[in-house]
Amino acid sequence: MVSGLRPLRADDGQLLILDQTQLPYAEEWRWIATLDDAARAIRDMQVRGAPLIGITAAFGLALALRVQASDAALAAAAAALAATRPTAVNLRWALARMQARLAPLPPSMRADAAWDEAQFLAAEDAAANRAIGEHGLALLRPLAERRGTLRVMTHCNAGWLATGGYGTALAPVYAAHAAGIAVHVYASETRPRNQGLLTAWELARGDVPHTLIADNAAGHLMRAGKVDVAIVGADRIAANGDVANKIGTYLKALAAREAGIPFYVAAPRSTIDRDCPSGEAIPIEERDGEELRLVRGAFAYARVAERRTRVANPAFDVTPAALVGAIVTERGAVPPGELAGLFDPARRDG
């Protein structure tokens, strides 16, 4: 297990984040001292991954409340953080929870309470990751027993870099690795932001064998029988089980179905948006076309743009529930049509 590795440190009331836009080339840590710092870190993807976005926003709110803690200031800070990125529901979920916790308190108590609550939220996410790993491992184990090495396809980065703990999609991989199961992960590049390099980087750190591929190669490898299971994270799961995740996820899900490969989604319950009936209601973030232009330098590439090349850059897509074999949460793995059971009010944490 990759214990102790965290993309965010919040000790002594100070917040430090690993700048993921510099990975895997450089490990640079940045102090986040203000609401604006936090909002910028989320918007510019210095921190990314649905759970980590939520955690960072919670700390950002705490930082804002140190300056001003009135009801109006609390609402304004939450609104500013919520506006940073539209698709991941964990962001809104974390902010709503913070507000529900803080609003009843007198303003003078809010800043400290917010920091504690953000710490608790991060710890809770780490615990959820661990449980996701165990429940996911239960799905992987029978596949591994049929194979020498279990070959896992993932997309984007849903590992410890994206969360408060061990990751979502990668948590079962780390759990399998720790349990002595031979695993090999195919990490796809994940254009345009190349988060597949983050996955390669963190798998290398965790000594998990892996192969980097172009996103385009995923279909070929699945069709060629080189993949046993696909696992991805999620940015928002609708009530009907439709899954919004990093752009390109849907293509992998289609290829998995075609090849008869199980396709699993791993996410904490905070990713499930029970107010969202289906994938059609999930807002899809359109990001700056310049992201595609990182290929060989913005300056040179701008010459193409001058010649009237438009760029479309949707950051997420929706994988319909019908393509998803199971959604793996901290409460266990369920088919996408049975999400309601994860919120059983009879359970303590329901």
Which one from 228, 235, 273, 317 is the annotated catalytic residue? Answer: 235
Residue from 221, 243, 276, 327 touching a copy of itself (CB under 8 A): that is 221
Between CA 268 and CA 194 the distance in angstroms is 24
Please, what is the end-to-end C-alpha distance for the chain in angstroms? 28
CB 323 within 8 A of CB 261: no
Q: How far apart (Å, rounded) are the C-alpha atoms in residues 26 and 49?
A: 19
Give the orientation angle of helix 71-82 with respect to helix 89-102, to 10 degrees. 170
Among 12, 72, 108, 307, binds a copy of itself (CB under 8 A): 307
- Bridge partners (DSSP) of residue 31 are 16
Residue 86 within binding range of a copy of itself, rule CB under 8 A: no
Question: Which residue in the set 220, 225, 288, 337 belongs to the binding site for a copy of itself (CB under 8 A)?
Answer: 220
Sign of CA dihedral 25, 194, 95, 231: negative
Residue 251 makes contact with a copy of itself by CB under 8 A: yes
The phi-psi region of residue 288 (left if phi > 0; otherwise alpha if psi is between -120 and 50; otherwise beta) is: beta
Cβ(210)–Cβ(184) under 8 Å? yes
Of the ranges 5-13, 76-84, 86-94, 198-206, which one interacts with a copy of itself (CB under 8 A)?
198-206
Pick from 127, 178, 213, 334 the residue near a copy of itself by CB under 8 A. 213
Q: Torsion angle, CA of 75/81/87/89, rounded to 10 degrees?
A: -60
Smallest distance, Å, CB 35 to a copy of itself? 31
Q: List the one residue from 28, 216, 275, 298 that touches a copy of itself (CB under 8 A).
A: 216
195 binds a copy of itself (CB under 8 A): no
Piece of 43-51, 82-90, 163-171, 251-259 that binds a copy of itself (CB under 8 A): 251-259
146 binds a copy of itself, rule: CB under 8 A? no
Which residues are tagged catalytic? 235
**Contacts to a copy of itself by CB under 8 A:** 24-25, 186, 189-192, 194, 197, 200-201, 203-205, 209-221, 223, 246-248, 250-251, 254-255, 258, 284, 289, 292, 294-296, 300-301, 303-304, 307-314, 316-318
